[in-house]
């Protein structure tokens, strides 16, 4: 009964603060696979019940009622499970000018973009090691708190600090959060998976997880795709708008085993564990504040942030954010603030940026982005960091840049130059997606695909550095220009973790791929294919492209002149008949958005369209005398 009452209260408070409307949440919820969610919920409840029983038996047998310990000044470590083999599983917080570093200030009222995006109408969930101090002055608006504590646990400095980095309103200007007009629902981490599933299925867009959970006494869990990573991937796949943001961890300064052992043998690499290795989350590294980004050398890595890769060579962490000396709210009083460092402090900065970008997108286009889109947009627009071009296992794709991401949103499908492409698409099994664009300028042409991948059927339960690949639907992007093929960036895995990324072949590990083309000039063809058989028969993916001057084929570009073509029937089902004297004409067919869907030949006046799905299409061809012709038709 407690959960139902609190959930209702959360909606009442969210409505008071003009958070996501009930209608918006219902719209997002309709995209969830509720049948699979119910199956997963039953599994998670059973696993959770078994876990609690094992933990209770262990505590009783050890004559201890203490499962939670304080670590350092603000941190918490709690034993949450004891496996049948005696291995203990712990949850541990990651302790040790964020808006300036993220360039989020340019989105605020008075910023350079001329917009007013500050988290209005938005809310996030925070799972952490205790309650947020909801009475803190930074969370009180007209006598009502922006924080809804969903669990009856004590206030904690760590969770309060995290929530402040996202949503503190700035009464004390030094602690204003990234999305300072947003609201927070706060949970204790004990039942996080079942609660995450409930939130995701009801329309929540983003949640923050500034803690790690795993077997802190063993080497195998570093880099491992374990049961938590798999279950979180499952939650995300069934709820395509839900994006968890997680801290990479602080194990690069460990002085005791197994962290110190891993540090000594791997040189700082392969130190991310638990849900940080999930495919469908965004994992955050901690860097120093960047007051003014000039180039990659402006971004200084913290001494503690854990580096990847995951065991299968995926790029982890995904993105970097300020996590050193972050000032935010504390729980000791209603006015207390303090400084903490850690990837725990970097992660909520990214969560705040997600809220801002989702708010801006919804304001312009009256709907929210899928999780793969907003994650892809953040990685696509990141500023270079590290000593080599492209991604790495230290900074991920670089330093987050909310301003660049917002500009890409603003210029999506614009009619003038200096625009971007942001599309949410579907690739069917054994099919190919192509799109033609033109680009020019001195800034790189960047083209990315991002997708929420199904959970892997296999997990790691104790093997050190297995070679198993956990990517299920392996999409591939390449870009062609004349006779040149451009491939996406990829890393080499633990065989050479410090080596630079390459872009000379396909990527077979990551569910985000980006192609960078310096000094573009001319026409480029984007091709998206897949390896093997797609699980489920298809895979949704997001396409993002940006350049200094970019244009795409649209219905306007085709200069339609239907009266010059004699064709029938319309609508058509399997064949179109076109009255032309020429035989074997080369025919191209585009959908109404301008995407190339079919290249074929007109043979004896007959055109086979049976493989096209229902919709409106544009036919384009050139006669042997050089006359360009095109017309529209409807496929039934």
- Report the residue count for the chain: 636
198 is catalytic: no
Last residue of a domain, one of 550, 583, 603: 550
> Among residues of the chain, what percentage have pLDDT more than 70?
90
Q: Please tell me the predicted confidence (pLDDT) of residue 75.
A: 61
Whether 556 is covered by a domain: the verdict is: no
Whether 156 is covered by a domain: the verdict is: yes
Q: How confident is the model at residue 311 (pLDDT cuts 50, 70, 90)?
A: very high
The model's pLDDT over 264-279, given as tens digits with 9 standing for 90+, comes to 999 999 999 999 999 9
Q: Which entry of 186, 320, 344, 551 is annotated as an active-site residue?
A: 344
**Under 8 Å between Cβ of 306 and 299:** no
pLDDT at 412 over 90: no
Say yes or no: 429 and 395 in one domain.
Answer: no
**Under 8 Å between Cβ of 468 and 247:** no
Q: Which entry of 136, 158, 275, 380 is annotated as an active-site residue?
A: 158
Whether 164 is covered by a domain: the verdict is: yes
The model's pLDDT over 125-166, given as tens digits with 9 standing for 90+, comes to 999 999 999 999 999 999 999 999 999 899 999 999 999 999
Query: Please, is 559 exposed, middle or buried when counting C-beta atoms within 10 Å of its C-beta (0-12, 13-18, 19+)?
Result: exposed
344 is catalytic: yes
Q: What integer is the mean pLDDT of 280-294?
A: 96
Q: What integer is the mean pLDDT of 325-334?
A: 95
CATH number at residue 76: 3.40.50.200
pLDDT at 220 over 70: yes
Say yes or no: 424 and 390 in one domain.
Answer: no
Say yes or no: 316 and 419 in one domain.
Answer: no
pLDDT at 64 over 70: no
Q: Which entry of 32, 81, 123, 128 is annotated as an active-site residue?
A: 128
Q: Please tell me the predicted confidence (pLDDT) of residue 593.
A: 58
When divided into structural domains, the chain yields a total of 3
Q: Please tell me the predicted confidence (pLDDT) of residue 260.
A: 92
The model's pLDDT over 14-60, given as tens digits with 9 standing for 90+, comes to 333 445 788 899 889 999 999 999 998 899 888 888 888 888 887 87
Q: What integer is the mean pLDDT of 62-66?
A: 64
CATH number at residue 605: 2.60.40.3080
Handedness of CA 396, 398, 401, 404 (dihedral sign): negative
Whether 557 is covered by a domain: the verdict is: no
Q: Please tell me the predicted confidence (pLDDT) of residue 591.
A: 76
Distances in Å between the alpha carbon of 527 and those of 67, 155, 597?
53, 52, 11
Q: Please tell me the predicted confidence (pLDDT) of residue 28.
A: 92
Last residue of a domain, one of 351, 381, 405: 405
The DSSP element (H or E) to which 228 belongs, if any, is helix 227-238
Least confident window among 245-259, 295-309, 351-365, 564-578: 564-578
Least confident window among 429-438, 468-477, 509-518: 429-438
Whether 125 is covered by a domain: the verdict is: yes
Say yes or no: 571 and 522 in one domain.
Answer: no
Say yes or no: 217 and 361 in one domain.
Answer: yes
618 or 484, which is more confident: 484
**Under 8 Å between Cβ of 489 and 516:** yes
Q: Please tell me the predicted confidence (pLDDT) of residue 193.
A: 96
How far apart are the C-alpha atoms of 587 and 498, rounded to whole Å? 48
CATH number at residue 457: 2.60.120.380
555 or 327, which is more confident: 327
Least confident window among 108-112, 493-497, 614-618: 614-618
- Retrieve residue 323's tokens: 């996590």
Say yes or no: 617 and 496 in one domain.
Answer: no
How far apart are the C-alpha atoms of 329 and 307, rounded to whole Å? 28
Closest CA to 14 of 202, 210, 241: 202
3-state secondary structure of 389: coil
Whether 555 is covered by a domain: the verdict is: no
pLDDT at 486 over 50: yes
DSSP E strand boundaries for 441-497: 445-450, 475-481, 484-486
Say yes or no: 329 and 439 in one domain.
Answer: no
Q: What integer is the mean pLDDT of 558-579?
A: 71
pLDDT at 95 over 70: no
Q: Please tell me the predicted confidence (pLDDT) of residue 23.
A: 86
Closest CA to 543 of 439, 454, 434: 434
Q: What integer is the mean pLDDT of 61-84?
A: 67
Q: How confident is the model at residue 72 (pLDDT cuts 50, 70, 90)?
A: low
Say yes or no: 602 and 535 in one domain.
Answer: no
Q: Please tell me the predicted confidence (pLDDT) of residue 419.
A: 82
Say yes or no: 380 and 463 in one domain.
Answer: no
pLDDT at 62 over 80: no
557 is catalytic: no
Whether 115 is covered by a domain: the verdict is: yes
Structural domain range at position 426:
413-550
Say yes or no: 239 and 185 in one domain.
Answer: yes
Say yes or no: 486 and 438 in one domain.
Answer: yes
Q: How confident is the model at residue 226 (pLDDT cuts 50, 70, 90)?
A: very high
Say yes or no: 372 and 446 in one domain.
Answer: no
Whether 363 is covered by a domain: the verdict is: yes
Least confident window among 92-101, 359-368, 506-515, 551-560: 551-560
Q: Please tell me the predicted confidence (pLDDT) of residue 633.
A: 85
- Retrieve residue 505's tokens: 């072949």
Q: Please tell me the predicted confidence (pLDDT) of residue 76.
A: 65
Last residue of a domain, one of 405, 427, 442: 405
- Retrieve residue 204's tokens: 């929540």
């Amino acid at each position: 009964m407690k959960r139902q009452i609190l959930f209702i209260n959360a909606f009442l408070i969210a409505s008071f603060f003009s958070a996501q409307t009930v209608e918006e949440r219902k719209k997002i919820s309709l995209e969830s696979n509720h049948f699979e969610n119910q199956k997963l919920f039953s599994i998670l409840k059973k696993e959770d019940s078994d876990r609690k029983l094992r933990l209770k038996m262990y505590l009783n047998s050890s004559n201890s009622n203490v499962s939670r310990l304080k670590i350092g000044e603000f941190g918490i470590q709690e034993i949450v499970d004891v496996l049948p083999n005696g291995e203990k599983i712990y949850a541990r917080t990651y302790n040790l000018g964020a808006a300036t570093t993220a360039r989020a200030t340019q989105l605020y009222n008075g910023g350079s973009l001329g917009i007013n995006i500050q988290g209005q109408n938005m809310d996030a969930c925070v799972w952490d090691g205790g309650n947020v101090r909801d009475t803190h002055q930074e969370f009180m608006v007209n006598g009502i708190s922006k924080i809804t504590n969903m669990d009856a646990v004590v206030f904690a400095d760590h969770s309060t600090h995290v929530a402040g980095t996202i949503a503190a309103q700035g009464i004390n200007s030094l602690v204003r959060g990234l999305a300072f007009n947003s609201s927070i629902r706060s949970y204790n981490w004990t039942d996080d998976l079942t609660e995450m599933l409930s939130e995701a299925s009801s329309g929540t867009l983003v949640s923050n997880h500034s803690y790690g959970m795993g077997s802190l006494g063993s080497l195998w869990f570093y880099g491992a795709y374990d049961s938590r990573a798999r279950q979180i991937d499952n939650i995300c796949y069934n709820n395509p708008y839900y994006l968890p943001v997680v801290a990479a961890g602080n194990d690069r300064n460990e002085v005791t085993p197994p962290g110190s052992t891993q540090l000594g043998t791997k040189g700082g690499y392969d130190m991310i564990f638990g849900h940080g290795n999930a495919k469908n989350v965004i994992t955050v590294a901690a860097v120093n504040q960047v007051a003014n980004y000039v180039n990659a050398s402006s971004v200084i890595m913290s001494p503690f942030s854990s580096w990847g890769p995951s065991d299968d060579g995926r790029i982890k962490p995904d993105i970097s954010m300020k996590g050193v000396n972050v000032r935010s709210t504390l729980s000791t009083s209603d006015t207390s603030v303090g400084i903490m460092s850690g990837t725990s402090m970097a992660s909520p900065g990214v969560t705040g940026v997600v809220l801002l970008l989702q708010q801006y997108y919804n304001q312009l286009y009256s709907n929210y982005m899928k999780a793969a889109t907003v994650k892809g947009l953040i990685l696509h627009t990141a500023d270079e960091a590290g000593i080599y071009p492209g991604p790495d296992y230290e900074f991920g794709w670089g330093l987050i840049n909310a301003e660049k991401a917002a500009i890409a949103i603003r210029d999506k499908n614009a009619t003038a130059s200096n625009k971007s492409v942001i599309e949410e698409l579907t690739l069917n099994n054994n099919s190919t997606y192509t799109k033609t664009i033109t680009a020019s300028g001195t800034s790189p042409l960047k083209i990315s695909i991002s997708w929420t991948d199904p959970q892997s059927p296999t997990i790691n339960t104790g093997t050190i550095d297995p070679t198993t690949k956990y990517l299920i639907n392996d999409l591939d992007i390449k870009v062609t220009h004349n006779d040149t093929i451009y491939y996406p960036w990829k890393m080499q895995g633990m065989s050479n973790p410090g080596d630079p990324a390459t872009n000379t072949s396909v990527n077979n590990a990551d569910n985000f791929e980006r192609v960078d083309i310096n000094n573009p000039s001319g026409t480029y063809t984007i091709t998206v294919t897949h390896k093997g058989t797609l699980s489920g028969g298809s895979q949704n993916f997001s396409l993002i492209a940006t350049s200094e001057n970019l244009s795409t084929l649209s219905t306007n570009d085709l200069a339609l002149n239907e009266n010059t073509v004699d064709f029938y029937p319309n609508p058509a089902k399997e064949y179109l008949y076109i009255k032309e004297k020429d035989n074997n004409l080369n025919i191209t067919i585009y959908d109404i958005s301008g995407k190339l869907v079919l290249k074929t030949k007109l043979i004896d006046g007959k055109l086979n369209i049976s493989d096209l799905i229902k919709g409106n299409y544009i036919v384009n061809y050139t006669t042997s005398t050089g006359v360009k012709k095109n017309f529209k038709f409807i496929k039934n």
